Amino acid sequence: MDVKLRDGTVATVEDSQLYEFPEGLFGFEDFKKYAMVSSEYAPFIWMQSLENEHLAFLIVDPFLVCDDYEVDIDEKTLSKIGITSPKDVCVMSVVTIPANGNPITANLQGPLIINRKTNQSMQVILNDNKWTTKFNIVQALKNREAVC
The pTM of the whole model exceeds 0.85:
yes
Q: How far apart are the C-alpha atoms of 91 and 62, rounded to whole Å?
A: 7
Residues 2-147, CATH architecture: Roll (2.30)
Reported as a single tens digit per residue, the pLDDT across 12-30 is 899 999 999 999 999 999 9
| Amino acid letter, residue 32 | K
Residue of 43, 60, 61, 72 whose CA lies nearest to 130: 72
61-93 pLDDT, tens digit per residue, is 999 999 899 999 999 999 999 999 989 999 999
